[in-house]
Structure 1
Amino acid sequence: MAKVFRYARALMGAALLGLGGWGLALGEIGPQAAIAQTPEPEAVDYPPEAPPPGVEPLPPERRRMEQPQTGDYRISALLRAFNGNLWIGSWEGVARIDPNTGRTIARISLPNTIIGAIAQDKVGRIWVGTYEGLMRVDPRTNEITAQNFFLPSNRILSLQLDQRGYLWVGTDRGIALISPDQGLLMTTLRKLPGVSANALSLDRDGQLWVGTLEGLVQVNSASGFAMKRIAEVPGTTVQTLALGPRGSLWAGTPEGLLEIDSRNGRILRSVTQLRGRNVKSIAFDRVGSIWVGTDGGLLRVNPYNGAIVGEVSNLPSREILSISPDTGNKVWVGTREGLAWISTSQDIGRARPLAAFSREADSSMME
């Protein structure tokens, strides 16, 4: 009982001495007992709004987050995460924003800032392919938790999660399969026909399709062996791939947009109105329209008849590198000169650049 009394008295004394901001490491309390005091690190609080007049400005890290990029503005990858946030991969690094407001949530510090692709695994971790390797980022802490450099090449161009949850990595010298939990290399296909894995997509049966410098290759996602090759592709090089709502595969080449039967590898059609256009990115929205990014602008296409139903103006650049539809009730567009968004409820033919990620600053408010 005496020990308990002395223990309580010690705690009361610490409080009276103003030690509430210190951590107390207490041993057995006795006549000669001592209290070891270890200061806790100060928590950095980032207020969501600007500070009132006369108050110290936001901490340096928050100011850095809100400042626009300086240098290369091309937006090479966009990813809508499970929680609705938009991840942005550029040639200046990786950032995460709230697509409803355009507010920058975080900028991720990486060893290499040139981003080729972004993906999210089944438990929510973010995988970032750079021109110097693959990294796994914990979105809760924004820290790198794994990295793998033992790939066919460290220049990563594409990423695709398969139906089992494994991650396929496309490089400029073949493809590899990664275990997301350990970040370990499981298998590689170095002698890929067409060499460079520019784009990856799954078909409706879960098999992997690879867009290469010389057409398309279908890969068995279980064994990692090449199953089928389509070499006679108009435009030769496949730059982007997407699975359509009817199960067909869509491919963008320097000569246009193709629809392919993924069951037999037969080219069903070349979209007439896009022949001769350099197609660099494609994405389907929830109503089934195809958003097609070319080196001459962004188009909305009816997949049933191939008609162009809309063309978007006021983009930071006419060269479209990435597209994320249905994200914050907007279509987000990555161009060579920055990021922009398009309202899906009004003025759908006009884009608005986002100042923090675009060379052309736009002070207009998000709607």
Structure 2
Amino acid sequence: MKRVKSNPRRWFREAGLWLLLACSLPRLARAAELSIHRWTGDDGLPQNRISALAQTPDGYLWCGTWFGVARFDGVKFTSFDHNRVAAFRDDAVNALAVDRIDGSLWVGTRDGLLRYAKGDWRRLGTGDGLPGPMVWRLLPRTKGGVWLDCAGRIAVATDHGIVWVSAPIGTAPDGPADETIRQLVSESGDALTFLTDSGPKRIRFGEPMASTQPVPDFSSPAWRAVLMDDEGRLVTAGTEEGLATRVDSRWNWVATSRQGWSEQTPVLHRDPTGVIWGAPRTKGLGQLRDGEWKPVALMSGRPPTDLTSALNDREGGLWLGTSDGL
């Protein structure tokens, strides 16, 4: 029997069409018409908890897990961990990012920052300038490399290594000393907007201190996740109290615990159609559509809970990483 070589570009194009139809349905039909396919350890994932997702220019989908990174070609998963790659000191992966300049894959682990380029793995640790062993979050930089959240600081890594590290975020004069970074939100003009418990902050490359970014007419004692529009304005905020969205300069609460919202919702994701997705723990998949937070009922497949990551591939397909599979 002639063996057919897997082609990730072709597979993502074909599968992406089906997934694009699914995630476009909220504008065309009721959410109850959606179906979902799920991959777990039984399908070759090294572990069911997906901590991060990324797609490299060659078409491969990469999944971060607590047991290493898995590369998916549409047919099978190939795992990379300490048994196969010496750069892995700890297999637990917290974050993934794809370099905007050279397409290399950055991997944030519990013991070091890894970079995969042209088949080679490289590790950066505390001896290379990393402010701590654990890398929590990554965000690609427009100029290449990544912003990273590590040891309560913001840093920048490029193919030359760690090139800049901020002062501890808790030392900012306008913030509490024990602030927790929740999200790396967006980049503009070589400055990073990130989210802490007390709200959005901004720091510029090369400057040690972050500044608070005021959000007009809105405040919260505990922020969890935010989304910004193309002009850099904060338009959706997930907090301990609920989910709020801004329309015409006014903030409206669109979801509370009674409406399926949970303070444990760690991820909000906007797909190309403008629909916002989330999956609070034990609550199932939900969407923010037409100003309302609505649970998603599925024609087939078990509804995902505890959304940990989300990705739209280049063909528009929507992939969801959860604590119980892809």
TM normalised by structure 2 equals: 0.69
Taking a change above 3 Å as real, the CA distance of residues 299 and 102 of structure 1, as seen in their structure-2 partners, is farther
Counterpart of 2:272 in structure 1 is 286
Partner residue of 2:183 out of 192, 199, 209: 199
Counterpart amino acid of residue 116 in structure 1: N
Counterpart of 2:44 in structure 1 is 68
Taking every aligned residue pair, what percent have the same amino acid on both sides?
24
Taking a change above 3 Å as real, the CA distance of residues 191 and 284 of structure 1, as seen in their structure-2 partners, is closer
Q: Quote how far apart the aligned CAs of 1:201 are.
A: 1.6
Structure 2: how far apart are the matches of 1:168 and 1:115?
A: 16
Q: Quote how far apart the aligned CAs of 1:119 are.
A: 0.8
- Deviations for 1:129-188, whole angstroms, at most 9, x for unmatched residues? 1111211112x31x322423233332222111233324211125222122x121124222
Partner residue of 1:118 out of 92, 96, 105: 96
Taking a change above 3 Å as real, the CA distance of residues 311 and 131 of structure 1, as seen in their structure-2 partners, is farther
Taking a change above 3 Å as real, the CA distance of residues 315 and 102 of structure 1, as seen in their structure-2 partners, is farther
**Is residue 107 from structure 1 mapped to residue 107 from structure 2 by the alignment?**
no
Taking a change above 3 Å as real, the CA distance of residues 242 and 133 of structure 1, as seen in their structure-2 partners, is farther
Structure 1: how far apart are the matches of 2:97 and 2:195?
A: 17
Taking a change above 3 Å as real, the CA distance of residues 191 and 324 of structure 1, as seen in their structure-2 partners, is closer
- Deviations for 1:312-342, whole angstroms, at most 9, x for unmatched residues? 5744752111111246653211111211xxx
Which secondary structure does the structure 1 equivalent of 2:285 belong to? strand
Structure 1: how far apart are the matches of 2:320 and 2:244?
A: 21
Counterpart amino acid of residue 209 in structure 2: F
Q: Quote how far apart the aligned CAs of 1:189 are.
A: 2.7
Taking a change above 3 Å as real, the CA distance of residues 282 and 87 of structure 1, as seen in their structure-2 partners, is same
Q: Quote how far apart the aligned CAs of 1:219 are.
A: 1.6
1:132–1:156 Cα contact (<8 Å) kept: yes
Taking a change above 3 Å as real, the CA distance of residues 168 and 120 of structure 1, as seen in their structure-2 partners, is same
Counterpart of 1:332 in structure 2 is 319
Query: Where does the alignment leave 5 or more consecutive residues of structure 1 unmatched?
Result: 1-45, 50-64, 262-266, 340-367
Q: Quote how far apart the aligned CAs of 1:242 are.
A: 3.5
Counterpart of 1:223 in structure 2 is 207
1:235–1:256 Cα contact (<8 Å) kept: no
Query: Where does the alignment leave 5 or more consecutive residues of structure 2 unmatched?
Result: 7-40
- The structure number with the bigger radius of gyration is 1
Q: Quote how far apart the aligned CAs of 1:126 are.
A: 0.9
Structure 2: how far apart are the matches of 1:234 and 1:78?
A: 29
Counterpart of 2:164 in structure 1 is 186
Partner residue of 1:300 out of 287, 290, 313: 287
2:95–2:136 Cα contact (<8 Å) kept: yes
Moved over 6 A (4+): none
Partner residue of 2:122 out of 132, 145, 167: 145
- Deviations for 1:169-220, whole angstroms, at most 9, x for unmatched residues? 1125222122x12112422231334533221022555531222233322222
2:166–2:209 Cα contact (<8 Å) kept: no
2:246–2:252 Cα contact (<8 Å) kept: no
Structure 2: how far apart are the matches of 1:256 and 1:123?
A: 39
**Is residue 321 from structure 1 mapped to residue 308 from structure 2 by the alignment?**
yes
Counterpart of 2:58 in structure 1 is 83
Which one is further off, 314-323 or 121-130? Answer: 314-323
Taking a change above 3 Å as real, the CA distance of residues 89 and 293 of structure 1, as seen in their structure-2 partners, is same
Partner residue of 2:71 out of 96, 110, 116: 96
Relative contact order: is structure 1 or structure 2 higher (C-alpha 8 Å, sep ≥ 6)? 2
Taking a change above 3 Å as real, the CA distance of residues 260 and 93 of structure 1, as seen in their structure-2 partners, is farther
2:124–2:130 Cα contact (<8 Å) kept: no
Q: Quote how far apart the aligned CAs of 1:67 are.
A: 6.7
Partner residue of 2:149 out of 160, 166, 170: 170
Counterpart amino acid of residue 309 in structure 2: S
Which secondary structure does the structure 1 equivalent of 2:267 belong to? strand
Say how many residue pairs are matched: 267
Q: Quote how far apart the aligned CAs of 1:69 are.
A: 4.4
Please report the RMSD computed on the Cα atoms of aligned residues, expressed in angstroms.
3.4
Which one is further off, 77-86 or 267-276? Answer: 267-276
Structure 1: how far apart are the matches of 2:150 and 2:95?
A: 10
Taking a change above 3 Å as real, the CA distance of residues 316 and 233 of structure 1, as seen in their structure-2 partners, is same
